[in-house]
Structure 1
Amino acid sequence: MSRITVIGAGAVGATAAQRIAEKELGDVVLIDIVEGLPQGKALDLMESGPLFDYDSKIIGTNDYKDMGGSDIVVITAGIARKPGMTREDLLKINTNIIREVSQNIATYAPESVIITVTNPLDLMTYITMKTTNFEPGRVFGMSGVLDSGRFAAFIAMELGCSVRDIRAMVLGGHGDTMVPLPRFTTVSGIPITELISPPTIQHMVDRTVNGGAEIVNLLKTGSAFYAPSAAVTNMVEAVIKDTKQILPVCAYLNGEYGKKGIYLGVPVKLGRRGVEEVIELKLTDDERKALDRSAEAVRSGIASLNVSG
């Protein structure tokens, strides 16, 4: 059975471990620096197995060595966004955490594929790739999968249709500069531009951009974890099963979309070794300008980290 490590046993990490185990995508190693936390949650998940009919093994540990032999490592470690805090506010706090985590992955799971979840997502993914020195295709982030899921949910609410019929597309950085694409978002193959009025579409686009902040403001003492963990699980499944599924993820660009040397949300083909191909969409001038603005925001963040090169 495949071995999947989740680093960070908070709400996102523990719920991702639960979803991965329930789908029997592999055995799960749950790592956290807080003594007892991953062990307790792992034991709770193991005791759930007989009730939900899954045979995945889950272990909790404070030792990075236990990730040895992992096929996939999911990074959720870091602090969560608080009310009034932008993703950029998280940058300095989470950078050191991600560097330490990445160094341990490179040491103990050098053949793994890495999925980053920690915010600010695009920058943390870049730091992970640079610190591990892995091939860029083996390091990618959960951005567009989550954002597209949110966009699709709002569309289903508006139309009163099944979420199964909706395929949504969101590009760009995971934050205020993301670029939802109504032209490439469909309901049973029909573009939503033919089903929903422009003002209503714009409202849903705005709500998607602010999707994370909306939940933070409602919860007041936490941030989203159900949808992020679902997005992670979809990505893990695409890699473990080598499905070659086309998903929008935070991927390294090497000339695609006219961008080079940054991570940005774009549609890709996901397989066993990670990002196998970046899919280039033909964008309108307005869509390309929006993507350019998003890329510049990411590039500015990279410059502030002083880790480019």
Structure 2
Amino acid sequence: MKITVIGAGHVGATAAHRIAEMQLAKEIVLLDIIDGIPQGKALDMYESAPVSLFDARIYGTNDYKDTADSDIILITAGMARKPGMSREDLLMKNASIVKAVTDQVMLYSSNPIIIMVSNPLDIMTHVAYVRSKLPAERVIGMAGVLDSARFRSFIAEALDVSMRDVNAFVLGGHGDSMVPVVKYTNVAGIPLSELLPQDKIDALVERTRTGGAEIVNYLKDGSAYYAPAASAVEMIDAIVNDRRRILPCSALVNGKYGLDDVFIGVPVKLGKNGIVEIMEINLDEKELLELQQSAAIVSSNCNSLASLLA
């Protein structure tokens, strides 16, 4: 298994190190446009191997030729959000970056699975799909895994319970229009509605929607990276080990949830070839409407990129 991580910033470097420690690949390539950064970080990671006890080789490079024949490509390249910026503010700049990255990686890898982390997430997944011409099941966005992790962590904190017992789904676009689905949220099988009053649930939902911005406001210059990296690697683990995990990811939806031809966060089954199945769960009228409204925002932004992607 060869895994390439594009972008040696905080998210990419953290993900690459986690991939190595979890022994998900024999060869890991860390690529960045800045000379010396991926080389230095990769060497530092490799020197940790005797302590962390992994045998993966980690290479840093500025040359896309070194990504040849990758099985999985994790794209984290792009500008990070700054305070006051929405994910949509990054649209044109990061679309140009992701377009160029996708074109380059596809020159050297014929049938990889692409996992997108760059923001605006759902739209950048669309960009990679259009430019790569890969089957839809092999282009996946890391969205709901992160959003659900944030929701679960806030619930565990509020109830003072173990993270292990909290299950939650956050669907929709990876942004302010995301849809935390409360009726599928439980703690050790107990519905959240039986454990917290509605006003506290509403507050947790709102904090989840603004969870990324909360971190950006603290950091001032930069955005979250530990949780995004861990979330992306959870997806990689499901693929490498053919686990058939059901995770909320950004996938191309056609015909389900009343949606067509749009990348949006939905529950998917992940296996060795990417998306095995898109799961259509029963949403109430309000949740379905919110999901469709979220998808409409994504579609509108994707349509604005038509000339760029032609």
Instruction: Give TM-score, length-normalised by structure 2.
Output: 0.98
Give, in angstroms, the shift of residue 52 of structure 1. 1.0
Give, in angstroms, the shift of residue 244 of structure 1. 0.6
Give, in angstroms, the shift of residue 189 of structure 1. 1.3
Matched, 1:254 2:254: yes
Determine the C-alpha separation between the residues in 1 that align with 2:136 and 2:127: 11
**CA-to-partner distance for each residue in 1:67-108, whole Å, 9 max, x for gaps?**
112110000000100111111110011111101111112111
Give, in angstroms, the shift of residue 110 of structure 1. 1.6
The runs of 5 or more residues in structure 1 that have no matched partner are none
Q: 1:115-154 residue pairs with structure 2 within 5 A?
A: 115-154=115-154
Determine the C-alpha separation between the residues in 1 that align with 2:299 and 2:243: 31
- Partner of residue 45, structure 1: 45
Determine the C-alpha separation between the residues in 1 that align with 2:107 and 2:192: 47
- Partner of residue 280, structure 1: 280
Letter in 2 for 1:90: L
* Backbone CA RMSD of aligned residues: 1.0
- Partner of residue 71, structure 1: 71
Give, in angstroms, the shift of residue 109 of structure 1. 1.2
Give, in angstroms, the shift of residue 54 of structure 1. 1.1
Give SS of 1:168's match.
strand
Determine the C-alpha separation between the residues in 1 that align with 2:195 and 2:218: 30
Give SS of 1:183's match.
strand
Letter in 2 for 1:33: I
**CA-to-partner distance for each residue in 1:195-226, whole Å, 9 max, x for gaps?**
11110000000000000000000111110000
Letter in 1 for 2:10: A
Matched, 1:16 2:15: yes
The runs of 5 or more residues in structure 2 that have no matched partner are none
Letter in 2 for 1:3: K
Letter in 2 for 1:82: K
Q: Kindly, what percent of the aligned residue pairs are identical?
A: 52
Letter in 1 for 2:6: I
Give, in angstroms, the shift of residue 162 of structure 1. 0.4
Letter in 2 for 1:121: L
**CA-to-partner distance for each residue in 1:37-69, whole Å, 9 max, x for gaps?**
000000000000111111111000001111112
Give, in angstroms, the shift of residue 256 of structure 1. 1.1
Determine the C-alpha separation between the residues in 1 that align with 2:2 and 2:167: 30
Count residues in correspondence: 308
Find runs of 4+ consecutive structure 1 residues off by over 2 angstroms.
Answer: none
Determine the C-alpha separation between the residues in 1 that align with 2:288 and 2:98: 31
Letter in 2 for 1:18: H
Q: Which segment is superposed worse, 101-110 or 136-145? A: 101-110
Letter in 1 for 2:236: V
- Partner of residue 202, structure 1: 202
Give SS of 2:46's match.
helix
Give, in angstroms, the shift of residue 248 of structure 1. 0.1
Q: 1:230-241 residue pairs with structure 2 within 5 A?
A: 230-241=230-241
Determine the C-alpha separation between the residues in 1 that align with 2:262 and 2:222: 29
Give SS of 2:265's match.
strand
Determine the C-alpha separation between the residues in 1 that align with 2:41 and 2:78: 18
Determine the C-alpha separation between the residues in 1 that align with 2:57 and 2:189: 39
Give SS of 1:4's match.
strand
**CA-to-partner distance for each residue in 1:220-267, whole Å, 9 max, x for gaps?**
111000000000110000000010100000000111111111100000
Letter in 2 for 1:239: I
Determine the C-alpha separation between the residues in 1 that align with 2:88 and 2:80: 12
Q: Which segment is superposed worse, 188-197 or 162-171? A: 188-197
**CA-to-partner distance for each residue in 1:131-189, whole Å, 9 max, x for gaps?**
01101110010000000000000000001000011111000000010000110011111
Matched, 1:31 2:31: yes
- Partner of residue 165, structure 2: 165
